[in-house]
Amino acid sequence: MMDRGEDLCEAFEGLIRFKNDCSCSIFSECGLSDITVKQIAYLKVIDQHGEITFSRLAEITRNSKPTITEMINRFVRMECVFRERCPDDGRILYIRLTEKGQKIAKAEQAAMQRVIERMMNSLDERELDLLVGILQKVR
């Protein structure tokens, strides 16, 4: 018989596996099943800033401008971002996410939402209240 630690570990591994499957499903829906964790992180940075320049992205990610340019070119080919000239200063280029890029940047949140929906559909009200109480206690 497994001890409680092993039971918890197995339960959490199952939840994490399901969440990861949901994330992979979202990436596949976008046609990007081979996207890297690093690329997702860059898309999240762009998403968080909304309007970001090449220089600012290089500064935030601690990369050179040529590295950022290469990465953005790759993202453009992947149809995740587009460039937009500043209306006030045509020399400035902003990097913006496409709908696909936004979906990828928010994939983790969407995957968690799918996990929560699964829990809500699998547990009754009493079980949900108990789970929420336990999880709040663990903080």
| Rounded Cα distance, 44 and 107, in Å | 10
pLDDT > 60? residue 1: no
pLDDT > 90? residue 5: no
| Rounded Cα distance, 133 and 130, in Å | 5
Residue range 32-89, pLDDT digits in tens: 878 888 888 999 999 999 889 999 999 999 999 999 999 999 999 999 999 999 888 8
Region 35-105: CATH code: 1.10.10.10
Domains of the chain, residue spans = 1-33+106-139, 35-105
* Half-sphere exposure at residue 26, Cβ-oriented, CA atoms within 13 angstroms: 23
